[in-house]
Every structure is written in structure tokens, then in C-alpha cells.
Amino acid sequence: MSFAQEVKNELCQIELDEKGVLAQLGAMIVANGSLVISNKEFQLKMVFSQAMIARRFVLLIKERYQIECELYTSKRPNLRKDYIYEVLIKDDVREILEDIGLYKLNTLDQKVSRALLKSDSAIQAYLAGWFLVSGSINSPRSTNYHAEFRCHKEIHAKEIVSILKKYYIEAKIVIRRKEWVVYVKASDQIADILRLIGAHQALMMYEDIRIQRDFHNSLVRLDNCEVANEMKTLKAGAKQVAAIQKLIDYHRLDFLDQKLIDIAHLRMANPEMSLNELSHLYQSETGITMSKSGIKHRLDKLINLAEKIKEKSA
């Protein structure tokens, strides 16, 4: 079972209050409903790709309006094994649309009544309804984080973006296959979406996997950083050893300041050591404290002296 499926399973189990039922029904109808006029009466047709979501819709309709729905099942075209679940409502459709705010003064509206979306719980139910019908989310184990809501109309995509923004979730819109897709890619904001739609068990799973994955990635980055630093140290050490050897070959080292001679011998004996390690070793051998920057300053001076010899002999 995919992570998105687990999220939807959890959303289908959430109990809603009266406003929540209306808000979720409104989202599902707006996202996936179509009206049919038969004998001058409205009929509402809903098409779902999963049985549990169709069942959720039917249960909410029965809970609110005590009416029966007709349910039809058919296979998808192109020889696919999965099914399509069609729910048809023939009774009281006009009253349902009026109740949700989609039918006012003999005119169909594109959005549910604003009065339904005043409370956090109603907004949670509304977004959960959208997610059930048209939402998806990548597993936190995947290589990229991604959550989205697909909309048939731009007005609905902008509404979802506006709602998410109230909860400090920055979503973007892209057009894909004649749909407006509202998407979020930031992992922490995807966690906020799960929290907002009420998928708390999925949120705990998501955060647990995300933390483990991010911790592993941090360790990998740290290891890579340490390897890079070690390579940098070895490269610098090799350059310093070559410079000191040049001074030795041209009999210049013994005429330098004693501290420079001491540092030169220390580096030649320990070509792989970091500056910090050389600093501690110098102090333990001489009893004199010399900082990491002091070590570097003297090694740089040895390199400069060796380069001058090279210039004169060129």
C-alpha cells in the first residue's frame, strides 16, 4: 500500500461534525461531481477510483440527508485491472447543492459557501475531501518530497492555495494535462498539510521516516565533508613537504630561523597531519604553545622561500 493510500485510509475514518460533513461533501462534489438534468430534475453523478472513497461519500450523504444512492462498478478501459466506482444521486440533489452553497437563487455556484469554511475543523474536512478525491503525496522514503491537489478549474486551485497560505503553507500552481495542480515540495510544509487535514497517524509515520532519512543524509554529508577536509589536508601537506625538500636540496633550510627549522622538520616527519595536530605535537615536543594559524604562517613562509629559489634558478 502506498503512503498516499494510507493517508486516505485514515481520512476515511475521521468522524466529522455537521459543518465538517457539509464541507467535505462540498469539496468532493466540487472536485469530482457532474450534474445531469433528467425530466427537469437534477441528478448528481460522482466517479471515484477507489471503493473506500466512494463508500465514504455515500456514508456522508446518508448521514446528512437519509437518502439512497445508486452505485455502479465498472472496469477501467485499456484492459487495466482496477475499477471505477460511480455513485448516482437522483433524489434531493437541488436541496443538497443549496445546503452546501453550490446552488443559490436558481444559479449554480463554483465554490461552496464561505460560511462553511469559518472554523479550522471545517477547513480540515474540506481539504481532506479534496485530498481524498484528487490528492497525492510521495512517500517520505522517496528521493523527493511532493504533495498535490489536482483541480479541474483554476478558481479551485487558487482557493486551495489561499487556504493553505492562511496556515503558512506556501503552495504553487502548475498546469498539467489540462488540470491545475496545487503542489508543495518542502518537507516541513508537507508535514503541515498532513496535520491540517487531520492525518495524524500518517503524520507521525511521515515525520519518523523523514527524520531517519534526513539524519542518514546528514551523516553522509558529514562523512563527505570529512573526506574532503582530509584530502585538502593531504594536498596542502604534500605542497609543504615539496617546498621544504626544495630548501633542503638547495642547502637553505639550516640558515633559517630556528622556529622555521623546527616546523619544517615537524612537517617532514608528519606529512599527513592537520595543522591542528601539528600544533598539539609542537607543544608536546618543545613545551612552546603555537596556534594553528602560527603553524600555517610558518609553513606558508617556507613555501614562499622555496618559490623564490625556484624563480632564481629558472
Do both 279 and 229 map to the same domain?
yes
Is 203 part of a structural domain of the chain? Answer: no
Count of Cβ atoms closer than 10 Å to residue 131 Cβ:
27
Is 214 part of a structural domain of the chain? Answer: no
Do both 29 and 176 map to the same domain?
yes
Tell which of 181, 198, 215 closes a domain. 198
Most confident of 34-38, 162-166, 271-275: 162-166
Q: Where residue 148 sits, what CATH number does that domain have?
A: 3.10.28.10
Is 139 part of a structural domain of the chain? Answer: yes
pLDDT of residue 241: 84
- In this structure, of 35-44, 221-230, 249-258, the range with the lowest mean pLDDT score is 221-230
Residue 23: domain span? 3-198
Give the residue, 80 or 241, on which the prediction is more confident.
Answer: 241
Do both 178 and 61 map to the same domain?
yes
Which pLDDT band holds residue 27 (cuts at 50, 70, 90)?
A: very high
Which pLDDT band holds residue 314 (cuts at 50, 70, 90)?
A: very low
| HEC profile of 173-202 | EEEECCEEEEEECCHHHHHHHHHHCCCHHH
Average pLDDT of span 23-44: 89
Count of Cβ atoms closer than 10 Å to residue 300 Cβ:
12
Which grid coordinates are listed for 213? 532519512
SS3 86: strand
Do both 156 and 291 map to the same domain?
no
Tell which of 198, 214, 231 closes a domain. 198
pLDDT of residue 62: 93
Total number of domains in the chain: 2
Cα 141 to Cα 137, 169, 197, 277, distances in angstroms: 11, 22, 21, 40
Is 66 part of a structural domain of the chain? Answer: yes
Could you read off the pLDDT of 98-138 as tens digits, one per residue? Answer: 999 888 877 788 888 888 899 999 999 999 999 999 999 99
Give the residue, 159 or 266, on which the prediction is more confident.
Answer: 159
Is 276 part of a structural domain of the chain? Answer: yes
| C-alpha span between 96 and 45 (Å, rounded) | 13
> pTM of the entire structure?
0.68
Do both 38 and 148 map to the same domain?
yes
Do both 53 and 117 map to the same domain?
yes
| C-alpha span between 127 and 285 (Å, rounded) | 70
Which grid coordinates are listed for 93? 440533489
pLDDT at residue 235 is higher than 90:
no
Do both 244 and 192 map to the same domain?
no
Closest among 98, 28, 96 to 57, alpha carbons compared: 28
Give the residue, 103 or 190, on which the prediction is more confident.
Answer: 190
- In this structure, of 110-119, 165-174, 305-314, the range with the lowest mean pLDDT score is 305-314
Do both 187 and 57 map to the same domain?
yes
Could you read off the pLDDT of 198-230 as tens digits, one per residue? Answer: 999 999 988 888 777 766 566 567 556 766 776
Average pLDDT of span 73-77: 78
Do both 193 and 55 map to the same domain?
yes
DSSP assignment of 55-73: HHHHHHHHHHH----EEEE
Do both 62 and 159 map to the same domain?
yes
Is 216 part of a structural domain of the chain? Answer: no
pLDDT of residue 237: 75
Is 209 part of a structural domain of the chain? Answer: no
Do both 15 and 84 map to the same domain?
yes
